[in-house]
Amino acid sequence: MIEKIKKMLGIGPKANLGEVIARGAVIVDVRTTGEYAGGHINGSVNIPLAALAGQMARLKKDKPVITCCASGMRSSSAKSMLQANGFTEVYNAGSWYNLKKFER
């Protein structure tokens, strides 16, 4: 029960994003198209947060999803939206810079 509460609150060990990416995760960058054009992770998909609700069908619910943005605020919102719509394995990487070391 305690572990479930910790997970809900985001407390505890962080996911190893390198392992999640190795398992075929889709990286969804929720910044604006202009921000994305200024730099992004190779292989990531740009779905701005404002468009995410209408474009979730582009993503598969049976694959892990990693959200990112500029600072972590929008990617946190995106994670919540995806989870509310049946995506079970969603990770918030925060800033897209956090994923540079895993770039494909």
Q: pLDDT by residue (tens digit) across 28-37?
A: 999 999 999 9
In a domain, 4, yes or no: no
Residue with tokens 């809900």: 8
If one counts the domains in the chain, the total is 1
Domain CATH number, residue 59: 3.40.250.10
CA-CA-CA-CA torsion sign (14, 17, 22, 24): positive
CB 30 within 8 A of CB 68: yes
Query: For residue 65, what are its two tokens?
Result: 């999803």
> Do the domain assignments include residue 71?
yes
Q: Is residue 7 part of a domain?
A: no
- Whole-prediction pTM value? 0.86
Is residue 8 included in any domain, yes or no? no
In a domain, 83, yes or no: yes
pLDDT at 77: 96
- 69 classed as catalytic: yes
Determine which one of 56, 65, 69, 82 is catalytic: 69
CA–CA gap between residue 53 and residue 37 (Å, rounded): 21
Locate 82 and state its tokens.
């995806």
The domain in which residue 46 lies consists of 15-102
Judge whether 69 lies within some domain: yes
- 66 lies in some domain: yes
**What tokens appear for 38 in the block?**
């200024």
Count how many Cα atoms sit within 13 Å of the Cα of residue 46 in the half-sphere of its side chain: 13
